[in-house]
Structure 1
Amino acid sequence: MDIEALFSELHSLPSIPKVAQDLIQQFDNPASSLESVARNLEKDPVIAAKILRLANSARFRGARESASIEDAASRLGFNTLRTLVLASAVTGAFKTEAAFDLKGFWLKSFQVASISRLLAKQVGVDAEIAFTCGVMHNIGELLIQAGAPRFAAIIRASGASRAANETLQLGFGYPEVGAELAKRWHLPELIRTAIAYQANPFHAPNNAPLPKVLAQAICISDALEAHGGATPDARVALEGPLLEGIDLDLLFEKLPALLEADKAFAEQLT
């Protein structure tokens, strides 16, 4: 089977609202203002409600509540707004079987995203784009869970060889599926490349740095999961050529507070 055959079997392709697509393009336009972004945000009541809720959460709330989208947008800032809009659009695009732990899936995705942001700052890569790649890194798995359940048993296989196992069984793995979905959503090529090469970052075209950042973040997240968080054992478990050049001691100093903050952020969306 090839990816085209898989997509043709889907009953419906998850879609990102046009308002969200317009906003993503607007965030990438240096001429955009918070006022113009706020006007577009008001067109999507679901995203607008999440923005107000986040702006009034413990993480962002000031001396008074935000009652307007423009005030909330000003409080959150461009980077947080961009992340929230895309994450909200993506998390709202999928409906899965009740047996699938959708909240756990997104919490894991946001953990990878948080680690990606920290790593990106170390190596001089755009931290917010890295965060977005982390949020979306596993949408290929989610697409199959939501739309092609007969393949779900293969997708549920865990471990570093999961992509290879899927390729052996299906002819493609979750990175390729995710990259194809990102393409059909008209997301930037930087994001598509990071998703496509996350399992094989050293073969990314033009030595693109984001696939490596994403691969490193997944590796670190898996170590945290295996060793009960940002523990000394998790730190010791992280070694090998993939992580060369990363200051893991500095990363582990910053991880606990950041992961807690972004977990709260994820729970605002899921």
Structure 2
Amino acid sequence: MPEHARPQDLQPLRPTLRDRVPVLPPGAPYLLRALHEDLPFNEIARAIERVPSVAGRLLALANSAWSSPISPVTSLEAACSRLGLRVVRTASIALAVAQPFNPARCPAFDAAAFWISALLNAEAANALAQRIQRDEVSTARTAALLSNLGLLWLAEALPRETGAALEATHDGPPGSLDRHLEALCGLGYIEASAQLAEAWNLPEVLQEAIASQQRADAQASVLAQLVSAATSMRATLQRDSGWTEDLRLLRLGLDPAAQQAAFAQLKFAQVRTVELAETLFAGH
């Protein structure tokens, strides 16, 4: 535990954090449920229309240099068709859940880096789910996208403590940030993510995967193990390291060659995903 943090000092922080659960914008809960289901473009567009801020940002994305349309995209349904269902789902969820937060209160928090990692988590889960649970690809992407959302919450609600943890673990080993947050904030970002998922009444399958990702042993659900492995794969990519076989994925039937293929798929998507995150969240 960091020297300046005393266990007795942490006790008030948990109830303080519970009192600061951000409220999703009107229409966002319906949108999140709709995006969790397999719906056609026109119904997804109608769900997105309930959250005008998300609708506007998607239209902007469809007309951006990232999308490079031949002619202006002027309707939300056309934007959804232009961007494709996978991008629409991922971008809409990210934009909807980001809206209630103001992480600028924590100067050490890098919002662009956070969303790059979150979108890469989703891409890693996509690559793995295609090989392990093809019927749950969309769910796996969403769970991985939201798996670290608690860090965004901590940055806003406890900016001083979160900033100290971020600065202390800038180049630290995997898992060190969560441990420092536990010491300074009373809970880590994984537990905070689970609390948000529960408070927002996300589908139970997402709640379980987010809550269990840290202890994703053989008793955890397939989705929780997949999300846990996806975040590790993303971290390996961002460290510019080579992938080594993962026990969680071996348990799920993914042999070393298939794991390398999934990692190669993630690496191929990296530049495009980083550009998407920067387009969506630059200056926000």
TM range (shorter): 0.7 to 0.9
- Tell me the TM-score normalised to structure 2 length: 0.78
Q: Which residue of 2 aligns with 1:141?
A: 151
Alignment partner, residue 216 of structure 1: 229
Matched, 1:264 2:271: no
Residue of 213, 221, 231 corresponding to 1:198: 213
- Give 1:203 shift: 5.8
Letter in 1 for 2:142: T
Residue identity matched to 2:151: E
For 1:258 and 1:58, how far apart are their aligned partners in 2? 17
Query: In the alignment, does 2:23 pair up with 1:15?
Result: yes
Cα shift at 1:60 = 4.4
- Determine if contact 1:111/1:259 at 8 Å carries over to the other structure: yes
Correspondence for 1:187 among 195, 198, 202: 202
Deviations 1:201-235 (A, max 9, x none): 1165xx411111111122222222323xxxxx513
* Equivalence map 1:16-165=2 (5 Å): 16-29=24-37, 33-57=40-64, 60-96=67-103, 97-125=106-134, 126-152=136-162, 153-154=164-165, 157=169, 158-162=172-176, 163=178
Decide whether aligned partners of structure 1 residues 6 and 120 sit closer, same or farther in structure 2, where only a CA change above 3 A counts.
farther
1:243/1:203 CA distance change after superposition, 3 Å: closer
2:245 to 239, 242, 246: 239
Q: 1:178 aligns with which of 193, 215, 228?
A: 193
CA distance in 1, matches of 2:23, 2:14: 13
C-alpha displacement of 1:166: 5.2
Q: Could you tell me how far apart the structure 2 residues matched to 1:89 and 1:35 are?
A: 19
Does the C-alpha gap of structure 1 residues 252 and 38 become closer, same or farther in structure 2, counting only changes over 3 Å?
A: closer
Which whole-Å CA distance do the structure 2 matches of 1:138 and 1:248 have between them? 23
Contact preservation (8 Å) 1:175, 1:196: yes
CA contact (8 A) 1:17 1:89 kept: yes
Q: CA RMSD in A?
A: 2.9
What is the CA–CA distance in structure 1 between the aligned matches of 2:11 and 2:36, rounded to whole Å? 30
Q: What is the CA-CA distance between 1:66 and the residue it aligns to?
A: 1.2
Letter in structure 1 aligned against 2:225:
K
Secondary structure in 2 matching 1:202: coil
Report how far residue 167 of structure 1 moved.
5.2
Percent sequence identity over matched residues?
27
Unaligned 5+ residue runs, structure 2?
A: 1-6
Contact 1:27 1:78 survives alignment (8 Å): no
Amino acid at match of 1:251: A
Alpha-carbon distance, 1:25 to partner: 2.2
What amino acid is the match of 2:152? L
Q: Which moved more, 1:111-120 or 1:250-259?
A: 250-259
Residue segments in structure 1 that go unaligned for 5+ positions in a row: 228-232
C-alpha distance 218-181 of structure 1, shift in aligned 2 (>3 A): same
**Per the alignment, do residues 218 and 102 of structure 1 end up closer, same or farther by CA in structure 2, a change over 3 Å counting?**
same
Within the alignment, does 1:248 sit opposite 2:253 as a pair?
A: no
Describe the superposition over 1:131-150 as per-residue Cα deviations: whole angstroms up to 9, x where unpaired: 22222111222222210235
SS of the equivalent of 2:101 reads: coil
Q: Deviations over 1:117-168 (max 9, x none)?
A: 1111111242222222222111222222210235323466443343456557
Indicate the SS of the match to 1:269: helix
Q: Which has the higher contact order (CA 8 A, sep 6+)?
A: 2
TM-score of the pair, normalised by structure 1: 0.82
Q: Distance in 2 between matches of 1:109 and 1:144?
A: 16
